[in-house]
């Protein structure tokens, strides 16, 4: 039998591949979660910990992705992403996912972007009060009771600020406010958000 090229080897000259035994499937329960720690608390020295999927979920949420978009990115459903966000907020001691982003920045789980240093249009005092209340996990009605406005007026003020700065979601708004240092950056104590930490 003739070969079309001298550069081709005879089948007998090819290196023989050794048969490798099939790998056993790894059980997820046996794998230790990869913990990502924030900066230590100056009061107690503790750290807030999240797993790698939770850190990815926090990052995507802080960058303005909606639960539907995150579900498409993580090959999950919108309802599952919303449930994961609520569970993560409860673990961080947050009232809602927007408050969870605020705590993540204060705890060092999320890093501030260096490209945002100041706002071209700084918010008014009333708008800043609404933004700070939103970051603290308050609802529009709760913010309205504190500032003497209606919940609809608070929502309109927040939407106006978001349109002015091309922001898509409220968590992304919190992220921008932390980057320009308009929010309280006091480190949250893990003992306040984790009841088990005080008993251990």
- Whole-angstrom Cα distance, residue 166 to residue 60? 17
pLDDT in tens, 113-131: 767 667 878 899 999 999 9
Which carries the bigger pLDDT value, residue 5 or residue 106?
Answer: 106
pLDDT per residue over 134-154, tens digit each?
999 999 999 999 999 999 999
Long-range pairs, 77-85, Cβ under 8 A, ≥24 = 81/57, 84/54, 84/57, 85/57, 85/61
Are the beta carbons of 37 and 48 closer than 8 angstroms? Answer: yes
How far is it, in rounded angstroms, from Cα 93 to Cα 105?
A: 14
Residue 139 has, within 13 A of its CA and on its CB side, a CA count of 4
- Mean pLDDT across the stretch 160-178? 94
For residue range 34-83, list pLDDT tens digits in order: 789 999 988 888 899 999 999 999 999 999 999 999 999 888 899 999 99
Taking the C-alpha atoms of residue 100 and residue 179, their distance in angstroms, rounded to an integer, is 16
Centre a 10 Å sphere on the Cβ of residue 50 and count the other Cβ atoms it contains.
23
| Helix residue spans in 75-169 (DSSP H) | 78-91, 97-107, 125-135, 140-147, 151-164
More confident of the two residues 14 and 178: 178
Alpha-carbon torsion (45, 178, 59, 96), positive or negative: positive
Report, as an integer, the average pLDDT of 11-15: 48
pTM for this prediction: 0.79
Q: What is the mean pLDDT of residues 179-190?
A: 90
pLDDT surpasses 70 at 4: no
Mean pLDDT, the chain, whole residue set:
83
Asked if 71 and 81 touch (Cβ cutoff 8 Å), the reply is: yes
Q: Is the pLDDT of residue 28 over 50?
A: no
By percentage, how much of the chain surpasses pLDDT 70? 77
């Amino acid at each position: 039998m003739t070969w079309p090229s001298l550069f081709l080897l005879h089948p007998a000259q090819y290196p023989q591949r050794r048969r490798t035994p099939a790998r056993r499937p790894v059980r997820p329960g046996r794998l230790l979660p990869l913990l990502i720690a924030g900066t230590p608390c100056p009061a107690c020295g503790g750290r807030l910990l999240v797993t790698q999927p939770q850190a990815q979920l926090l990052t995507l949420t802080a960058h303005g992705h909606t639960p539907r978009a995150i579900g498409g990115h993580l090959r999950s459903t919108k309802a599952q992403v919303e449930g994961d966000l609520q569970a993560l907020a409860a673990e961080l001691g947050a009232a809602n996912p927007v408050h969870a982003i605020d705590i993540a920045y204060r705890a060092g789980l999320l890093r501030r972007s260096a490209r945002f240093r100041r706002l071209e249009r700084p918010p008014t005092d009333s708008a800043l009060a609404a933004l700070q209340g939103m970051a603290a996990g308050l609802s529009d009605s709760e913010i309205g009771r504190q500032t003497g406005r209606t919940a609809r007026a608070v929502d309109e003020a927040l939407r106006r600020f978001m349109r002015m700065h091309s922001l898509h979601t409220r968590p992304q708004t919190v992220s921008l406010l932390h980057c320009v240092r308009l929010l309280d950056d006091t480190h949250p104590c893990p003992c306040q958000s984790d009841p088990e930490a005080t008993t251990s």
